Amino acid sequence: MNRFVVDAMLGRLATWLRLVGCDTYYSPKTDDDDLLRIARDDSRVLLTADEELSRRAADDGTECMLVRGTVDERVASVFMRFGIEAVADPALSRCTKCNGALVHIFADEKDRIKGLVFDQTFNHYDEFWLCEYCSSVFFRGGQWKNIEKYMARIADLMT
């Protein structure tokens, strides 16, 4: 599976790539030189909305895609180009905040995430995913329905 580095203008694209499980470097503070260096040193495909940066990548021999259009069109075009399925599964996702790998937490070990989520959430769900880097916790809550709806919309755009 391709790994990516995403420019500062494409934060929402980075979030969606992480949700579907793609290892995606994104930091809004990274400048163009660093983006090119990370792509080269770490064998990542550079995704950018900046024509000049994509030209520099091409001159460098760095794999790059110039991403255009609305957020939805950007997500759909990147998924199509790299053969990514528009299906989000928390068991495959990476942390949307920091790109860390997630650890599956089952009911019998859920004390590990006590205090990291609201008590109500803790009591209501029995399955969580914990990012060991930044301690963010994910679960199939109400927001997961929206994620599934959005993925269906992207799948439509891809046909």
Residues at the interface with Zn ion (CB under 5 A): 95, 97-98, 100, 131, 133-134, 136
Phi, psi (rounded to 5 degrees) for 136: -70, 145
Q: Least Å distance between CB 93 and Zn ion?
A: 11
Q: Least Å distance between CB 129 and Zn ion?
A: 10
> Is residue 139 a contact partner of residue 125, using CB atoms and an 8 Å limit?
yes
Output Rg (C-alpha) for the chain, integer angstroms: 17
Which CB sits closer to Zn ion, 97 or 140? 97
Q: Least Å distance between CB 141 and Zn ion?
A: 17
Q: How many other CB atoms are found less than 10 A from the CB of residue 98?
A: 14
Considering only CA atoms, which of 93, 12, 97, 79 is closest in space to residue 49? Answer: 12
Which CB sits closer to Zn ion, 57 or 95? 95
Which CB sits closer to Zn ion, 45 or 130? 130
